[in-house]
Amino acid sequence: MVKSILPLVLTGAATRKRGKTLIGPVDLTVGAKGFTIVIGPNGSGKTSFLQLMHGLGRVSKGGVRWNVSQAEAQRQQAYVFQTPIMMRRRVVDCIAYPLLLTGTGRKAARARAAEWATRLGLGEALDRPATVLSGGEKQKLALARALIRKPEILFLDEPCANLDGRATREIETILLEAYRAGTRIVMATHDMGQAKRLSTEIAFLYKGMIHEYGSAETFFSAPKTHEAQAFLRGDILE
């Protein structure tokens, strides 16, 4: 049986850049199940926090520890940026790329990529250059590329920030399907409606610190901190 990479445990974890602390210190345990939404004012450090957990951000202090080795943890997780990075290749080859890196044959990788493209609504775009896709299509490609390896945990940085309502609904449907199929999701968003629709738990971030972490239902009905209460009222936090 394959050992789970979760829980992810942050102990006094912090990240600094140019002498400024961006995140932390943070003490947090991300369990094996859930759809965590990271919210907070602009500039609160949501992107830096996701990157710290995923491994894209350097740990300046404290620890970020998985239930397995770092190398094994990296193989079982994925990250989707707010603005997806598009390779100068056909859609099918972009989606297949992660499989090629892990040794899957080109024919088999393309076959699986075609399946994922169809599932995510890109079946008719397989041979198109990825760079000419619309914003929503690029985000679907990024999700297909992330999910094709069936990661245990998926990090997403505001994946619907620049999309219209229809594209947002389609992306949310894909994410909920992945979550229900067993993928642990941690996602940043500035959209409170989206946070309420998707989350099972909330991480409220302010000035690089986790002010609240727990049940989404409890957070939205009875936030405990003054900062969270003000944020949900729509007040400006400085």
pLDDT digits (tens, 9 = 90+) for 124-147: 999 999 999 999 999 999 999 999
Query: 186 or 161, which is more confident?
Result: 186
| Distance of alpha carbon 109 from alpha carbon 120, whole angstroms | 16
**Averaged pLDDT of the chain:** 95
pLDDT at 238: 84
Overall size of the chain counted in residues: 238
Question: In what helix (H) or strand (E) does residue 221 lie, and over which residues does it extend?
Answer: helix 216-221
Domains of the chain: 8-83+154-233 (3.40.50.300)
Residue 2 banded pLDDT, cuts 50, 70, 90: confident
- In this predicted structure, which of 44-48, 51-55, 81-85 has the lowest mean pLDDT? 81-85
Supply the DSSP symbol for 32. S
116 token code pair: 């994922």
| Whole-number Cα distances in Å, 157 to 3, 46, 100, 183, 223 | 27, 8, 25, 16, 23
Question: In what helix (H) or strand (E) does residue 198 lie, and over which residues does it extend?
Answer: helix 192-198
| Distance of alpha carbon 7 from alpha carbon 211, whole angstroms | 20
Residue 116 banded pLDDT, cuts 50, 70, 90: very high
